[in-house]
Amino acid sequence: MTTDDTIPVEGSGSDELPTVPVPEGVQETDLPQPEDFPTTRLRRGYVPDQVDELIEEVFDAVRSGEPAPEIAEVRFDATKLRTGYVEGAVDEYLDQLSEAIGQEPTPPPEK
């Protein structure tokens, strides 16, 4: 997850995210529960509504047996002067969520 090259989550008025099948047998109880992410106001962070929406889409996909958004392809809009989620905390949780649904964690950014 990064804030570069934004790929909005569904419902933001743009194209939907690419999806991948959830492996058979994955249950909601297998997923790490979302936490209250720390927030930041004067530093760059992720737009909370976008993060929350992505997590809900993944949980909905697991509940329904439908394909889930490809988490590693998600790019969130950045916040600077308004409250946002601390990027590192969100990235760590989304990597755990990715692994729980059989997806690869997001590779670290290239330098």
- Is residue 89 very low, low, confident or very high in pLDDT (cuts 50, 70, 90)? very high
Could you give the CA distance from residue 63 to residue 75 in angstroms, rounded to a whole number? 24
pLDDT digits (tens, 9 = 90+) for 5-26: 334 444 343 357 789 999 999 9
For residues 45-79, one letter each, b for 16 or more C-beta atoms within 10 angstroms of the residue's C-beta and e for the rest, the string is bbbbebbebbbebbbebbeeeeebbebbebbbebb
Could you give the CA distance from residue 53 to residue 47 in angstroms, rounded to a whole number? 10
The answer to whether the predicted template modeling score (pTM) of the entire model surpasses 0.85 is no
pLDDT of 111 reads 60
50: pLDDT strictly greater than 90:
yes
The stretch 65-76 carries a mean pLDDT of: 94
